[in-house]
Amino acid sequence: MFPMSLDFTHRTVLVTGAGSGIGRAIAAGFLDAGANVIASDINMEQLNELRSRHGCASGRPLHILRTDVREREQVLALFESNPFGRLDAVVHAAGITASLLLTETDDETYRKLIETNVNGTFHVLQEAVSVMRDNAEGGTIVVIGSINAMWPLANQAVYTATKAAIDSLAKSLAVEVAPLQIRVNVVAPGAIDTPMNHRLTGERKAALAARIPLRRIGIPEDLVGITQFLSSPLSSYITGSTFVVDGGFIVGR
């Protein structure tokens, strides 16, 4: 039987979007697995909460830095701030959503979604490769996508487009950097109970859970295992793939 978490002792993992939701669960999971963790988010208050709950109290190696992934200079500063020396894995979980019909989406919302989800991913991927290409054994990159990239929703047209874009970015990059032994994969969650999905309450939440074969909404911790697997030597022959974590929602439709 496999342990609940792998051993990442002496390995360094950078997690974006680590202030809440999926990103926080992943950062905490890597800390539990013994990793040195670099955690970034646009919300410094949430990063301080992460450090208070999972870093300082336990003496675990956690470095936090406020980062707006839309800004190239801030992403560069994030990677340069690494106090642990080497960098073994990157998990890019930073992103935003919006539930609007395409015809009702204003230019500002459109730009913010594109700049955060697509441009932000572009910045993080470029800087990750720039650092990891110097590692003799390469490294791993996991991008948190969405099942919306393959199962579009009518009221999330732009969000869906951004998730499809980053799925393609990651897969193209996987081919480019495979000779460097850098592996790039995507994890595509379905309905997950996070602050970003605040609309999932009451009857609406129950109705959605009833449509999922496993009969429940996912929790952020459901993404920890697959992310650690893809960041470990156990997945050494896996790259350029998308892993759906949705409780069977797509296949059960």
Q: Which residues are catalytic?
A: 159
Mutual angle of helices 72-80 and 120-132, in 10-degree steps: 30
- Residues, the chain: 253
Cβ atoms of residues 101 and 153 within 8 Å? no
> Based on the number of CB atoms within 10 Å of its own CB, is 156 exposed (0-12), middle (13-18) or buried (19 or more)?
buried
The residue whose two tokens read 């911790």 is 221
C-beta pairs of 118-122 under 8 Å, 24+ apart in sequence: 118/162, 118/165, 118/166, 118/169, 119/69, 119/70, 120/16, 120/69, 120/70, 120/75, 120/92, 120/94, 120/95, 121/69, 121/92, 121/165, 121/166, 121/169, 121/170, 122/169
Cβ atoms of residues 229 and 8 within 8 Å? no
> Does residue 229 sit in helix, strand or coil?
helix
